[in-house]
Amino acid sequence: MYKKTLHQLIDLINKKEITGREIHKSVLDRIDLKDKDINAYTTVFREYEEYGKDGILKGIPIAIKDNMHIKGKRTTCSSKILENFVPEFNATVIEELEKESASFMGKTNMDEFAMGSSTETSYFGVTKNPWDTTKIPGGSSGGSAAAVACGEAIAALGSDTGGSIRQPAALCGVVGMKPTYGRVSRYGLVAFASSLDQIGPITKDVEDAAILMNIISKKDEKDSTSVNIKREDFTQYLNQNIKGMKIGVYDKVLKDCSEGVAKSMENSMDILKNLGCKLENVDLPSVQYCVSDYYIIAPAEASSNLSRYDGVKYGFRADGYDDLMDMYIKTRTEGFGDEVKRRIMLGTYVLSSGYYDAYYLKAQKLRSLLKKDFNSAFAKYDCIISPTTPTEAFGIGEKAGNPLQMYLSDIFTIPANLTSIPAISIPNGISNNGLPTGLQIMANAFREDNIFKCASAFEKEFNIIDKLPMN
């Protein structure tokens, strides 16, 4: 059962051929067999609990990234500082899943506080790529992507701050969707960078992503950034003819890609041309600065958001301190990992007196220029495509000592977060080294319809779902 898609299992339950409890048992057996090698979960829910009645999901278990609150279940953000934290309320996305009769498989591993591109910064150890366990699965939602790819989850939720859904989805050969900022409530998501974070689905195929998007997309009074936009049935955009769709190709990046990624991208362009799309090269001049921009804005917001973890209110508290300030320092020194400390220090620096105007204010102006570039492009094109990542999955530990090289892993995904637009990664090839690659499809704000039309049509012509590492 664990090999089937969400929509296939919904159909089987409707036919009374299986039950949600049986699916949970099948996935649990798979976790017991594989997770000692993959390490996709921080917490596994061994007892089956179905929520709601007669909902769309029929008791099918969904995996949840470990930075979203489920009442009474541990939320760690893969950090020592929250190792034993148990929230007393649900995230809004969890409430929406429960209304549709979801069950939950567990909480998936991630880079600590979602800060990383490889799931190597987790306090609970590295998650491994099921295609090759010497490789990283991507990050920060690496646990969710790895779990879906190897059958340890039917589908999952992740969060995306600079590519943290799409990048691991590409490296693990699955589908990852970042919605428009504000379409999905962030209430109950532990914040990394509040103006960038979005929750989205990681699934085996595009239809499953559309089903989960239908459920989690809603206006939420508990989230002031939630947008009051009419809920859509995203499945209506699947299996449509996309002849005549105008697609901008950001091809300047191909020179910076590995041979395998470039080859997959070229093949993807041929597929879209054969489907009748009109492809043209698109110029986005400000994109070359997006990584620099992101690593000013995101750490600045993180340094503010993470100030609450001080050992006073909840979470880990260090022993053997002399006074309040000493407790703060020891708690944060022992509780946070190196990457989190690096970003807090960077963020505090760019927000400090004397540097705010030189760095943070300038970064926000550049963000506006980037948005202007994309607005101009979307006046002409329905979608813009690029590779999701510059290379296939790299080796565990390969970039651990070089933060800049790690940050460049997200060079193609960051623009969608800075401009608040929706984007999806879908599998578009398997390189000669046996590792998957991803195609990123972006559209203008709240035009997820164009993304689903394009992604679904492409997937009908090319997919690797039968090649996922589920044996």
Which of the residues are catalytic?
65, 140, 164
Tokens 């400090």 correspond to what residue? 352
Q: Contacts from 350-359 at CB under 8 Å and sequence distance 24+? A: 350/296, 350/299, 350/300, 351/300, 351/303, 351/304, 359/296
User: What tokens does 313 get?
Assistant: 């209110």
Note whether 383 and 245 are within 8 A (CB).
Answer: yes
User: What tokens does 432 get?
Assistant: 């000669």
> Where on the phi/psi map is residue 203: left (φ > 0), alpha (ψ -120 to 50), or beta?
beta
φ, ψ (nearest 5 deg) of residue 425 = -115, 130
**CA–CA distance from 56 to each of 107, 210, 326 (Å)?**
22, 13, 52
Tokens 């947008």 correspond to what residue? 227
Note whether 327 and 320 are within 8 A (CB).
Answer: no
DSSP string for residues in 121-157: S-TT----BTTBTTB---SSSHHHHHHHHTTS-SSEE
CA dihedral sign, ordered 444, 445, 447, 450: positive
Q: How far is CA 194 from the centre of its chain?
A: 15
Between CA 61 and CA 50, with CA 209 as vertex, the angle to 5 degrees is: 20
Can you tell me the distance from the alpha carbon of 94 to that of 392, in angstroms, rounded to the nearest whole number? 32
